[in-house]
C-alpha cells in the first residue's frame, strides 16, 4: 500500500496534487474551528504523504503533533513560530509538489487565523466550542429528564444524579471527553466557554428548576465564571 502511494505522488501532475490537497482542505473546512481545521488537515495530509523525503515526512508529522497539542489545551507560545518555520521549510525543501502545496496552505491559514491560534494557546479558549479540552460541559436543568444515561457513560464519575433528578456535572472532575453529550437523547448536555448560566449545585427533581430570564434581572447577577 505504501509503495503504491509513493509512486502515485511522484508520478502525479501538479494539477492532480493541487486537487487532492485542496479537496482535503475543503473537507476539513466544514469544521467551524480554524485551529481544529489545521489539526485535521495536517493529520490527513501526513497520512497521505509518500514519506520519501525527510522534510515532508517529518515536517508533516510535527505539524500534526503541534496542532493536536494546541487543540488539547497544551499549546505553547513558541508553537506558532514552529508551525510557520515548518510550513516554510515544506515549501522550500519538499521533494515534490505535495509537500509544497500543503506548506503553502498551512502558511496561509496561520496568517489568516493568528487571533484564533493565540486564543487557543494563551487563553485556552475555543470560541467555536469545538475543541473539547478548552470548554465546559454542563447539564441544562430545564431540559434534563433524569434518565441517568450520562451517569452510566461518564468514565470519571463526574455526574451526580438519580431517577428523575436533574443531573449535575462536577467540572473539577470532568475530563471533557464528550461521551455524555453523545448519549443524551434530550440534548441536555451543553457546551460552554468561560461563562456558565446559573445551575443547581446538587440534583433536584426534574422540572423543578426555575429558569431565569434577562427580564427577571437575576441572570446577570448570578452568572458565574468557570475556574480556568
Ligand atoms: S443530562 Fe441527558 S442523559 Fe443525563 S440524565 Fe439528563 S436527560 Fe439523561
Ligand atoms: S464530558 Fe465526559 S467526563 Fe465530562 S461529564 Fe461528560 S462523560 Fe463525564
How far is residue 78's CA from residue 133's CA, in Å, rounded to a whole number? 20
- Residue 215: predicted pLDDT: 52
Q: Which ligand is nearest to the CA of 137?
A: 2
Minimum CA distance residue for ligand 1 atom 3: 184
β-sheet bridge partners, residue 196: 224
Domains assigned to the chain: 2-123 (1.20.1440.230), 135-225 (3.30.70.20)
Q: How many CB atoms lie within 10 A of CB 19?
A: 13
Quick: pLDDT tens for 149-186.
Answer: 999 999 999 999 999 999 999 999 999 999 999 999 99
Rg (CA), the chain: 22
Ligand 2 atom closest to Cα of residue 177: 2
The response to whether residue 188 sits with its C-beta less than 6 Å from ligand 1 reads yes
Whole-angstrom distance, CA of residue 106 vs CA of residue 204? 49
Q: How many CB atoms lie within 10 A of CB 181?
A: 16
The residue that leads in pLDDT, 89 or 194, is 89
Cβ burial, residue 195 (10 Å; 0-12/13-18/19+):
exposed
Minimal-distance CA residue to ligand 1 atom 7: 144
- ∠ CA(61), CA(27), CA(134), 5° rounding? 65
**pLDDT, tens digit (0-9, with 9 covering 90-100), for 33-81:** 999 999 999 999 999 998 888 999 999 999 999 999 999 999 999 999 9
- Per-residue confidence at 142, pLDDT binned at 50, 70, 90? very high
What is the DSSP annotation of 175-193? ----HHHHH-TT--EEEE-
Which residue's CA is minimally distant from atom 6 of ligand 1?
144
Contact 145 CB / ligand 1 (< 6 Å):
yes
Give the global pTM: 0.81
pLDDT tens figures, 194-227: 788 999 999 999 988 877 665 554 444 444 444 4
Query: Which of 133, 136, 138, 177 to probe ligand 2 with, by most ligand atoms within 8 A of CB?
Result: 177
Kindly give the residue spans of alpha helices, DSSP state H, lying in the chain: 2-11, 14-28, 34-48, 54-71, 79-93, 97-112, 114-118, 149-153, 179-183, 219-222
Residue nearest to atom 2 of ligand 1 (CA): 184
Residue to mutate (ligand 2; options 179, 182, 188, 203; most atoms within 8 A of CB):
179
Amino acid at each position: 500500500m505504501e509503495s503504491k502511494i509513493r509512486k502515485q505522488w511522484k508520478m502525479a501532475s501538479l494539477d492532480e496534487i493541487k486537487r487532492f490537497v485542496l479537496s482535503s482542505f475543503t473537507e476539513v473546512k466544514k469544521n467551524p474551528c480554524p485551529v481544529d481545521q489545521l489539526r485535521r488537515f495536517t493529520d490527513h495530509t501526513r497520512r497521505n504523504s509518500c514519506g520519501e523525503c525527510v522534510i515532508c515526512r517529518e515536517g508533516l508529522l510535527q505539524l500534526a503533533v503541534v496542532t493536536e497539542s494546541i487543540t488539547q489545551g497544551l499549546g505553547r507560545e513558541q508553537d506558532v513560530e514552529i508551525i510557520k518555520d515548518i510550513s516554510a521549510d515544506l515549501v522550500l525543501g519538499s521533494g515534490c509538489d505535495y509537500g509544497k502545496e500543503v506548506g503553502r496552505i498551512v502558511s496561509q491559514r496561520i496568517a489568516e487565523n493568528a487571533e484564533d491560534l493565540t486564543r487557543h494557546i494563551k487563553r485556552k479558549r475555543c470560541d467555536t466550542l469545538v475543541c473539547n479540552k478548552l470548554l465546559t460541559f454542563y447539564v441544562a436543568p430545564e431540559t434534563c429528564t433524569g434518565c441517568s444515561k450520562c451517569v452510566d457513560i461518564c468514565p470519571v464519575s463526574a455526574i451526580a444524579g438519580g431517577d428523575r433528578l436533574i443531573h449535575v456535572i462536577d467540572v473539577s472532575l470532568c475530563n471533557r471527553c464528550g461521551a455524555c453529550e453523545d448519549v443524551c437523547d434530550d440534548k441536555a448536555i451543553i457546551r460552554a466557554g468561560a461563562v456558565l448560566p446559573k445551575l443547581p449545585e446538587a440534583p433536584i427533581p426534574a422540572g423543578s428548576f426555575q429558569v431565569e430570564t434577562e427580564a427577571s434581572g437575576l441572570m446577570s447577577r448570578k452568572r458565574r465564571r468557570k475556574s480556568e
